[in-house]
Amino acid sequence: MTRVSKRLALWFACVAVCAGQSVRLVPDIAVAEAEYRDSEEAWLRNDPNLEKELLSADPEQMKGRIRRAASLRDTVMVKKEAYLNLLIERLQTTLGTMQRASSLSELPVGALKSDLEAQQARILGDQERLEALMADLPQGDEYFLVHRALEAEHTDLVNLQNNIALRIRSLENAGKAQDAAKSALAADTLAQKLQSILKVWEQERAGTIRQRTSWTQLYRTMEQTVDPKARTSSERAALSAAAPGSGPAGRAKSGAPPRAAAGAAGISSGLAGVWVYQSQPGAWSGYGEPEMITLELNEDGSTLRGTYTARLPVPSGLHSIRLELEGARESATAARLQWKSQVPAAAGEIEIRLGSDGRLFLERTRSDDSYIPKGMEVLLRQ
């Protein structure tokens, strides 16, 4: 480089500094997502027997294991929040680009659709990975909390995927309208759709922040449970009933008094009858808490028939649904039922399981129409 070239380079550098310019590294969403998924997998595979050995292993060793699991879980929540922050920032940028383009009465349909399809592909990949992790986890009451957390994550991903699919469909319709008329109204409509997607991600981020606090409290409670100095016999019995492994095997290890009477009463009455939803913590998973649910079941030999009537929240508001159910009992306490809806014309599958405490766990595991979302509710006999 000649002396003149060096002076020109120095001059341009000085101009850039004086103009307030700076180099900014833009975070990559794929990297943030990979870090989040890796941390989640590390937490899942860290100590699979933690809940099972909560009250049987050495207390001092168990406290160390609990703190390790708590640290890994907290890392998961931090990475997830960072990932969601980047997604929200991307959506906000896209929305700003669209609003600027709307002033010219033309929408960047191709770019917006590609961005939504990329998000949909990532969510479907996340869903498949989570289902694989869930399949690897052992079954049993001692893993109830872990399964519950993973099922909630799975439900959130399903809801987000359904929502984005609706937005892609709406975006395609907006693109056709733009090609026909180049109207500003199409731009306003699309802005509202993107605002709805942005709201969903912001709600997911808010839920992540709340879940981080809940997980911290859960591991703090587990540590108090295994601390001989901080635990009385009555506290241990109460915590054992509420903790993972609270089934018959878990109660035998913890010494907590079994609730055989309540469980026997719930099982002996069978699946048939009228079941209703009552609002309580942890009694649902999905886009939002149901407003009303009534499940009526009748037994005909090994076949169950009935109706499921509900008002369920979805991104666009509350939907009133009525499903006709029919299916075979898999056991005295479990069944897999097929459902059909007349309005809208749709079909899907529901799984029900009667708990030892008399509560009925109902999950909509399959739905071919996003009007009727997937989700889970805990019902009580009327």
Q: Residues 46-65: what's their mean pLDDT?
A: 85
Q: Residues 205-233: what's their mean pLDDT?
A: 78
The pair of three-digit structure tokens given for residue 343, joined into one six-digit string = 């309005």
pLDDT for the residue 266: 38
Kindly tell me if the per-residue pLDDT of 145 is higher than 60: yes
pLDDT for the residue 194: 80
Kindly tell me if the per-residue pLDDT of 360 is higher than 70: yes
- Residue of higher predicted confidence among 13 and 56: 56
pLDDT for the residue 263: 39
Poorest-pLDDT segment among 18-27, 194-203, 253-262: 253-262
Kindly tell me if the per-residue pLDDT of 235 is higher than 50: no
In angstroms, the CA 77 to CA 75 distance is 5
Kindly tell me if the per-residue pLDDT of 92 is higher than 70: yes
pLDDT tens sequence across 182-196: 554 544 567 777 888
pLDDT tens sequence across 291-348: 999 999 999 888 999 999 999 887 777 888 999 999 998 888 899 999 999 888 889 9
Poorest-pLDDT segment among 90-99, 101-110, 129-138, 373-382: 101-110
**Which range, 34-43, 92-101, 122-131, is most confident?**
34-43
Residue of 160, 131, 104, 122 lying closest to 30 (CA atoms): 122
